[in-house]
């Protein structure tokens, strides 16, 4: 998502796959200044990839972290833009229920829903 809460890149994964496994692919080739994510993305690889891109890391450390990182909570509040985008996307029934069995068809409709949100 960009600073306005609009999608920049979408990657479709199987339902059983973790989101953190696609984090590097999502940020690859996308210019950004701040990487904001929830605790699920708190891994050394993701943090290093964000730092290597020259961006600031705003990811809360997990509760069991040996050396917790400072989190910019004022910037972290902007993470709700992602949640609001998905709330808008799920207003489209085909996105919310995933009736499409083929991944390429579902991804195409998610992209179409994203375009509709961009046009609003």
Whole-number Å distance between alpha carbons of 34 and 1: 11
- Which pTM was predicted? 0.78
Are 30 and 7 in contact by the 8 Å Cβ rule? The answer is: no
> Mean pLDDT lowest for which of 49-58, 69-78, 98-107?
69-78
Question: How distant is the alpha carbon of residue 54 from its chain centre?
Answer: 18
Question: How distant is the alpha carbon of residue 50 from its chain centre?
Answer: 13
Q: Which H or E element spans position 116?
A: helix 103-119
Work out the percent of the chain whose per-residue pLDDT is above 90: 38
């Amino acid at each position: 998502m960009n600073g306005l809460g609009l999608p920049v890149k979408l990657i479709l994964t199987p339902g059983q796959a973790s989101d953190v496994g696609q984090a590097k692919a999502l940020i690859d080739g996308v210019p950004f200044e701040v990487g904001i994510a929830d605790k699920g993305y708190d891994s050394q690889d993701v943090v290093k990839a964000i730092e290597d891109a020259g961006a600031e890391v705003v990811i809360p450390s997990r509760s069991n972290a040996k050396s917790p990182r400072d989190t910019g909570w004022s910037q972290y509040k902007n993470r709700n833009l992602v949640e609001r985008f998905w709330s808008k996307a799920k207003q489209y029934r085909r996105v919310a229920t995933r009736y499409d069995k083929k991944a390429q068809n579902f991804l195409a409709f998610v992209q179409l829903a994203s375009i509709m949100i961009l046009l609003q």
